[in-house]
Chains A and B, each alone.
Chain A
Amino acid sequence: MNLWQFMLQNHTEVLELTLEHLWLVGISTLLAVLVGIPLGILITRWPVLNKPVLGGANIIQTIPSLALFGFLLPAPWIGARADRLAILALTLYALLPLIRNTYTGIRGVDPAVVEAGRGMGLTDRQLLFQVELPLALGVIIAGVRVATVISVGLATIAAAIGAGGLGEYIFRGLAMVNNQVILAGAIPAAVMALLADVSLGWLEKRLSPH
């Protein structure tokens, strides 16, 4: 039987794993946005924090993903459930693009515009929310896009620790030396990454300043 037939036959499982995968990517990206964007804003206000914050996120990025999953295993609450661990690891990996893009997006706003705004008597909060963030939004969404696409790929490793997702098929297929099973996991993941890239890319264009 070919791949398409295999997937049709096992469509329940394919769907289940796809949804698990979406869940892992979705929650971790959301958490990364909730932590990363404020951190990015913070380091534009306190440049002294620039090196530690960006440096820290950079270091996390360099840890091989499988190793990170391994490090976090013994951790008390996190290590107890595989999906919590996977979500934490995925969130950590998504932080760097979000922090960095928020930072460069805000820094990239025309300094004349910021100076005019400040000189007019805008408070720092007004400047941030009415001028800097709207103008930085395109770059920030680009960061979300990069983070999401990376997450979709990285989440396949979550299966190695039992957190589910399309990685299940990939690892199962590797163990069974069965290409069909591998592809049944890899192709939906690739399609998911592509869809995320295209739709967030469209959003990025729409929200970029004129």
Chain B
Amino acid sequence: MSDSLNASPAIEFRHVSYRVNGSGDAGRELLHDLNLDVQRGETLVLLGRSGSGKTTTLKLINHLLTPSEGEIRVEARPTREWDVIRLRRMIGYVIQEVGLFPHFTVERNIGLVPRIENWPADRIAKRVRELLTLVGLPPEIASRYPRELSGGQRQRVGVARALAADPPILLMDEPFGALDPITRAELQREFLGLQKRLQKTVVFVTHDLREALLLGTRIALMEAGRLVTVQTAEEFPTCAEPLAAAYKNAFGSGA
């Protein structure tokens, strides 16, 4: 990749709107005229409450949803022009419910994308071991089934699975939301360590301001389908934007 390409944003949103149930003015608009860039190697947090459009924004990146208007570009190419399967295989996807395949062992879960990408078996086995260590799980866990794991362990496997084919981009939709506070704090810390090491481009959805300030390089505040403001994590606490202030108040002085 040339230097100029490296400088361009990994993901770009240009005048993106998303409507459900009907076209034109008939449908319900979940996203309105979104313009946003995600820089390579940053952790962009999409912060907002339910209905703010943050999950919709995330799913537009890996084409699980298609925009009603506007264009999303990944690696400088519009998502419409990408082969959807290729696009998704270079984007790791982690969701709150985890969605591990219950009929596969941990090893087969993590190794699924490498397997369908036809990696040789020994390379897959090696990668699975590497990833288990990376997410802090013991190697013995490889032969266990998801139903035998705790919530924290499952989500670690979920993250390992998303990282298996070493995608440059990671999408995470409230990944730690269903965990107890202690496990959540653990995984947040580990995520920070992981990011420092791997330097992926991460888009992270959350409604938790503390999590956003802890994990984000920049925070994009969303409300009712619109982007309100984008601030760095350092600037956010002192931002004058009324909604940001409301958020801070909701989370108390601890934020």
Number of interface residues of A (CB under 8 A): 20
A209 / chain B contacts, CB cutoff of 8 Å:
102-103
Question: Interface-forming stretch among A20-28, A114-122, A158-166?
Answer: A114-122
B116 / chain A contacts, CB cutoff of 8 Å:
121-122, 126
A112 located at the interface, meaning its Cβ lies under 8 Å from any Cβ of chain B in the complex? yes
A10 located at the interface, meaning its Cβ lies under 8 Å from any Cβ of chain B in the complex? no
- A208–B50 Cα distance when bound, in Å, is 36
A95-138 interface code vs B (CB 8 A; 1 in, 0 out): 00000000000000010111111111111001000110011000
B95 located at the interface, meaning its Cβ lies under 8 Å from any Cβ of chain A in the complex? yes
Question: Interface-forming stretch among B7-15, B82-90, B185-193?
Answer: B82-90
Inter-chain CB contacts under 8 Å: number: 63
A30-64 interface code vs B (CB 8 A; 1 in, 0 out): 00000000000000000000000000000000000
B86 / chain A contacts, CB cutoff of 8 Å:
121
Q: Are B98 and A210 in contact (CB under 8 A)?
A: no
Q: Are A120 and B145 CB-contacts (below 8 A) given A110-B99, A115-B64, A210-B102?
A: no
Q: Are B89 and A120 in contact (CB under 8 A)?
A: yes
Q: Are A113 and B145 in contact (CB under 8 A)?
A: no
Complex: chain B residue closest to A123, CB-CB: B85
B158 / chain A contacts, CB cutoff of 8 Å:
116
Q: Are A131 and B101 in contact (CB under 8 A)?
A: yes
A182 to chain B, nearest CB (A): 47
- A127–B237 Cα distance when bound, in Å, is 44
B91 / chain A contacts, CB cutoff of 8 Å:
119, 121
The 3 A-B pairs of least Cβ separation, nearest first, read A116-B99, A121-B88, A119-B93
- Interface residues, chain B, CB within 8 Å of chain A? 62, 64, 85-89, 91, 93, 95, 97-103, 112-113, 116, 145, 147, 158, 161-162, 171
Q: A118-B88, A121-B91 are in contact. List 10 more A-B contacts (CB 8 A).
A: A112-B98, A112-B99, A113-B101, A116-B95, A116-B98, A116-B99, A118-B64, A119-B88, A119-B93, A120-B88
- Interface residues, chain A, CB within 8 Å of chain B? 110, 112-123, 126, 130-131, 134-135, 209-210
